Amino acid sequence: MTIWKRRKFRVFIWSKLSYFFGKGKQKTEVTLNFDENTYLILALRYQELSSGGGGGGTEEVPFEISGHLTEIDTGKIDSDYMNSRFEKYLKTIRKDDTNSNDIQKTVDELHKSFATLTQEEQKFANIFLNDVQRGDVKPEEGKTFREYITEYLAAAKIAQINEVVNVLGSTQDENIAAFKSKLSRMMNAGVTEANINEFGRFDDLKNCVDKAKAKAYFEEQEGAGISLFKVNMKIDKLLQDFIISGGFDL
């Protein structure tokens, strides 16, 4: 089935939740138990099973994931509801006569809408919301909740890349810049284990590593001396896991 036909079929299926089958008085009503938004949320959770959920690990799921489910464009999940809950929360905390119960109610409603986010996005949504509650961030008029999450996520990725470069890179400015640039490009290229060294790009990235600095880092982690051979293996695994998983904190 083509992408166009799939979209047309989905529009038809979700146009209503109840259907009647049969003829005359023998008709049977069949009602769907959830709407399209709920279905897409479940599909998003299912996708995360095959991707490791955004953590540092890269182990495969011990059962087969349906190819159709992993190809669903969950980015189409409507974020209007989530943003409306965010705006309601802002209006509530800005009122002079608002009590703690009213605030908590709007917070709970906003948290329920987080189901439309990936696990990693949920993490930064909570961090942002905590910053707002503490008064560390003053929300801008017209800026959506999704935009704040995207900014926080992007800042976190930059910080993670900087951490890897600081740990494994040399102290020379030009080498640091090259390492950071190459690592960032690979992070944004949708790299997989199968194509990570396409055109020698992964080998080129590893050439930016300061082996002495990396050796000191890994020895500190293990609390023992490590051979250069083992250091090279650890460099390879750390960088490969970091790139394929989309980044993580060291």
**Residue 230 falls inside a structural domain:** yes
pLDDT in tens, 130-159: 999 888 999 988 888 989 999 999 999 999
Shared domain check, 101 and 87: yes
Give the model's pLDDT for residue 129: 92
**Residue 69 falls inside a structural domain:** yes
Give the model's pLDDT for residue 99: 86
Shared domain check, 89 and 66: no
Query: How far is residue 226's CA from residue 136's CA, in Å, rounded to a whole number?
Result: 44
Shared domain check, 186 and 124: no
- Domain boundary (125, 152, 179) is at 152
The identity of residue 87, as a single letter, is: E
Average pLDDT across the chain, whole number: 80
What's the domain count of the chain? Answer: 3
Shared domain check, 136 and 119: yes
Give the model's pLDDT for residue 52: 52
pLDDT in tens, 83-96: 888 999 999 988 88
Shared domain check, 87 and 43: no
Mean pLDDT, range 105-127, rounded to an integer = 88
**Residue 112 falls inside a structural domain:** yes
**Residue 239 falls inside a structural domain:** yes
Distances (CA, A) of 93 to 50, 86, 107, 141: 39, 11, 10, 14
pTM above 0.85, yes or no: no
Shared domain check, 129 and 64: no
Shared domain check, 51 and 39: yes
pLDDT in tens, 182-241: 999 999 888 899 999 999 999 999 999 999 999 999 999 999 999 999 999 999 999 999
Shared domain check, 86 and 65: no
Query: Is 28 strand, coil or helix?
Result: strand
Shared domain check, 235 and 180: yes
pLDDT band at 43 (very low <50, low <70, confident <90, very high): low
223 in the Ramachandran plot: left (φ > 0), alpha (ψ -120 to 50) or beta?
Answer: left
92 half-sphere exposure, CB direction, 13 A CA radius: 20
Shared domain check, 47 and 106: no
Parent domain of 85: 80-152
**Residue 163 falls inside a structural domain:** no
Shared domain check, 237 and 174: yes
Query: Is 98 strand, coil or helix?
Result: coil
C-alpha torsion sign, points 125, 130, 133, 139: negative
Structure token digits, residue 163: 């951490």
**Residue 157 falls inside a structural domain:** no
- Domain boundary (76, 96, 121) is at 76
Structure token digits, residue 177: 């810049």
- 48 has pLDDT over 70: no
Shared domain check, 222 and 179: yes
Mean pLDDT, range 63-86, rounded to an integer = 59
Contact yes or no for 205/231 (Cβ under 8 A)? no
Give the model's pLDDT for residue 18: 74
CB atoms within 10 A of CB 94: 9
- 44 has pLDDT over 80: no
- 7 has pLDDT over 60: no
**Residue 70 falls inside a structural domain:** yes
CB atoms within 10 A of CB 85: 20
- Domain boundary (31, 47, 76) is at 76
**Residue 107 falls inside a structural domain:** yes
